[in-house]
Amino acid sequence: MQTNGQMSRFGAMKVALHRLAFVVLVVAAFGLMLLGKADTLLVSRVGTAVSDALTPVLEVMSKPAASVGAVMNNLRELAAIRAENARLREENQRLLHWQTLARRLEAENQRLRELGNMVPDPTPRTLTGRVVADTGGVFARSLLVTVGSRHGARSGQVVVAGEGLVGRLTEVGARSSRVLLLTDINSRVSVVMEESRARAILVGNNRNRPDLAFLKSQTGVSPGDRIVTSGIAGAFPPGLPVGVVASVDEGHIRVELFIEESRLELVRILDYGLNGIVADPGAGNAPP
């Protein structure tokens, strides 16, 4: 009985202490609120002092987390570097293979040229012009460039960009010229399939993908086949990159050009000494 009484008194004291602690906390919080209202400078100083005291502790606690994060980042970067190195090694092997093949073909080509006493292709004279806004005209797909007869431009000259053939000059003024693009409905370019050597005509249709017409046989033509100029008819020199076959659908062959008209800023005008297929009625009257 005495033990039970002691346990009851202990429980009552524990409950009283909990209540007292609760009251003390409430009073302390209320006191801090009043103190903060009465003396904000003192509260600010106390907060600053607490922050100063806790900053070293927080700094020590944050270092392991930062170290773990740095280690994880290093591991991820290491994995990415290893994958990139593997890809670069594989690409390097492919490039070395193609380099060896290109050198062998170059040497073979040189021997064949020497045996056949072949006259080398002339080196073209080049002009560089900037593409400016098109002011409109009889052609639906054309550009204006800042090269004219004063710089040596003539109608029919070839216009290229870094990716491939752009078109040819059609109207030449003293300071500017108009470029007829391959996508214009008036454009006709003699081309050849790079692999099969089948000849065709690239016909503009005022759309982004011109048509491949007058191909004797579509057998063996598939998307991805490269197309270059054939050099027939004397309008373009042979071998200029044009594009690739984009689709073959019910007798219609669409060509994806290497150049993007909307991104053209600078073009090169090549003078191979070809007369071209576009007459320049004002050539004799062009200023020197």
Domain boundaries in the chain?
125-285
pLDDT band at 135 (very low <50, low <70, confident <90, very high): low
**Strands 211-213, 125-132: parallel, antiparallel or unpaired by DSSP?**
unpaired
pLDDT of res. 285: 43
pLDDT at residue number 202: 93
- What homologous superfamily does CATH list for 125-285? Rod shape-determining protein MreC, domain 1 (2.40.10.340)
Q: Output the pLDDT for position 120.
A: 62
39 has pLDDT over 50 = yes
Give pLDDT tens digits for 153-208: 888 889 999 888 999 998 888 888 899 999 999 999 999 988 888 889 999 988 88
Greater model confidence, 233 or 256: 256
More reliable by pLDDT, 45 or 221: 221
- Residue reference for tokens 């800023």: 265
Distances (CA, A) of 210 to 21, 206, 235: 87, 8, 18
Give the pLDDT confidence score for residue 255 in this predicted structure.
93
- How much is the average pLDDT of 101-113? 79
pLDDT value at 38 more than 70 = no
**Per-residue pLDDT averaged across 93-102, rounded?**
83
User: 236 with 158: CB under 8 angstroms?
Assistant: yes
pLDDT, position 281 = 45
- The Cα 197–Cα 57 span in angstroms is 77
* Residue 152 burial (10 A CB sphere; 0-12, 13-18, 19+): middle
Taking only Cα atoms into account, the Rg of the chain, rounded to an integer number of angstroms, comes to: 40
